[in-house]
Structure 1
Amino acid sequence: MPVDITLGTRPPVPSPLSPASIGPVQLRNRIIKAATSEGRSPDGLVTQDLIDFHVGFARGGVGMTTVAYCAVGQEGRSAPGQIIMSAEAVPGLLRLTDAVHAEGAAISAQLGHAGVVASRAVTGVAALSPSTFVNPTSFQLCKEISRSQMRDVVDQFRDAAIIAADAGFDAVELHFGHLYLPSSFMSPWMNKRRDEYGGSIENRTRFAREIAGAVKNAVGDRVAVMAKMSMDDGIKGSIWLDESLQSAQLLDSDNVLDAIELTMGSSVKKQMFLFRGDVPVDGMAAVMKEPFKTGVKVLGKKILGEYPYYDLYMLEAARQFRPVVRNAKLILLGGINNMAHLETAMAEGFEFAAMGRALLREPDLINRLAEDSTKPGLCIHCNKCMFTVYGQTHCVLAEAV
Structure 2
Amino acid sequence: MPQSGSPGILSPAALGPVSLRNRIIKSATFEGRAPRGLVTDDLIGFHRRFAAGGVGMTTLAFCAVTADGRQFAPMIQMGREAVPGLRRLTEAVHAEGAAASVQIGHAGVVANAKSTGLPALGPVKRFDPQNLRSCRMATKADLRRVVAAFGDATDVAVDSGFDAVEVHLGHDYLPSSFLSPHLNRRDDEYGGSLENRARFAREITRTVRERAKDRIAVIAKLTMDDGVRGGFWIDEAVQVARWLEADGHLDALELTMGSSPGNTMYMFRGEPPIREFAAAMPQPRRLMVRLGGRLKLRSYEYRPLYMLDAARQIRAAVGLPLILLGGITEKAHMDTAMDEGFQFVAMGRALLREPDLVNRIQTDPSHRSLCIHCNKCVPTIFAGGTHCVLATD
Match 2:365 to one of 347, 365, 373: 373
Residue type of the alignment partner of 2:232: I
Counting only pairs closer than 5 Å after superposition, residues 45-194 of structure 1 correspond to structure 2 as 45-194=38-187
Q: Distance in 1 between matches of 2:195 and 2:173?
A: 18
Match 1:361 to one of 348, 353, 357: 353
Once the two structures are TM-superposed, the CA of residue 323 in structure 1 deviates from its matched residue by 2.1
Q: Distance in 1 between matches of 2:57 and 2:180?
A: 30
Residue type of the alignment partner of 1:161: T
SS at 2:221's partner residue?
Answer: strand
Once the two structures are TM-superposed, the CA of residue 296 in structure 1 deviates from its matched residue by 1.1
Match 1:317 to one of 310, 318, 326: 310
Structure 2 length as normaliser, TM-score? Answer: 0.97
Q: Is the 8 A contact 2:125 2:134 kept in 1?
A: yes
Match 2:9 to one of 10, 16, 22: 16
Once the two structures are TM-superposed, the CA of residue 139 in structure 1 deviates from its matched residue by 3.8
Residue type of the alignment partner of 1:354: A
Q: Is the 8 A contact 1:76 1:123 kept in 2?
A: no
Once the two structures are TM-superposed, the CA of residue 80 in structure 1 deviates from its matched residue by 3.0
Residue type of the alignment partner of 2:373: H
Residue type of the alignment partner of 1:376: R
1:334 matched to 2:334: no
Q: Which string of whole-angstrom CA distances, capped at 9 and with x for unpartnered residues, describes residues 31-82 of structure 1?
A: 0000001011111111111111101000000000000001101100012311
Q: Distance in 2 between matches of 1:247 and 1:268?
A: 22
Q: Distance in 2 between matches of 1:216 and 1:263?
A: 21
Once the two structures are TM-superposed, the CA of residue 136 in structure 1 deviates from its matched residue by 4.5
Q: Is the 8 A contact 1:360 1:395 kept in 2?
A: yes
CA distance 1:251–1:341, shift in 2 (3 Å): same
Match 1:220 to one of 208, 213, 230: 213
Match 1:344 to one of 336, 345, 349: 336
Match of 1:259 in 2: 252
Structure 1 length as normaliser, TM-score? Answer: 0.96
Residue type of the alignment partner of 2:166: E
Once the two structures are TM-superposed, the CA of residue 125 in structure 1 deviates from its matched residue by 1.9
Q: Which runs of 5+ in 1 are unaligned?
A: 1-9
Q: Which string of whole-angstrom CA distances, capped at 9 and with x for unpartnered residues, describes residues 294-329 of structure 1?
A: 221121121111111111100000010012222x31
Match of 1:205 in 2: 198
User: Identity of paired residues, percent?
Assistant: 57
Q: Which runs of 5+ in 2 are unaligned?
A: none
SS at 1:395's partner residue?
Answer: coil
Q: Distance in 1 between matches of 2:118 and 2:36?
A: 19
Question: Larger Rg: 1 or 2?
Answer: 1
Q: Distance in 2 between matches of 1:15 and 1:136?
A: 47
SS at 1:230's partner residue?
Answer: strand
Q: Is the 8 A contact 2:329 2:369 kept in 1?
A: yes
SS at 2:299's partner residue?
Answer: coil
Range moving further from structure 2, 230-239 or 116-125: 116-125
SS at 1:285's partner residue?
Answer: helix
Q: Is the 8 A contact 2:114 2:131 kept in 1?
A: no
SS at 2:168's partner residue?
Answer: strand
Q: Distance in 1 between matches of 2:63 and 2:278?
A: 27
SS at 1:275's partner residue?
Answer: coil
Residue type of the alignment partner of 2:241: A
Match of 1:4 in 2: none
Q: Is the 8 A contact 1:270 1:305 kept in 2?
A: yes
Range moving further from structure 2, 86-95 or 127-136: 127-136
Q: Which string of whole-angstrom CA distances, capped at 9 and with x for unpartnered residues, describes residues 78-106 of structure 1?
A: 12311111110001111110110011000
Residue type of the alignment partner of 1:241: I
Q: Distance in 1 between matches of 2:261 and 2:242?
A: 25
Q: Distance in 2 between matches of 1:74 and 1:26?
A: 33
Once the two structures are TM-superposed, the CA of residue 11 in structure 1 deviates from its matched residue by 6.6
Q: Which string of whole-angstrom CA distances, capped at 9 and with x for unpartnered residues, describes residues 89-146 of structure 1?
A: 0011111101100110000000010000012122222111111222343342111100
| Equivalent residue pairs, number | 390
SS at 2:346's partner residue?
Answer: strand
Q: Is the 8 A contact 2:130 2:285 kept in 1?
A: no
Q: Distance in 2 between matches of 1:260 and 1:291?
A: 38
Match of 2:229 in 1: 236
Residue type of the alignment partner of 2:353: R
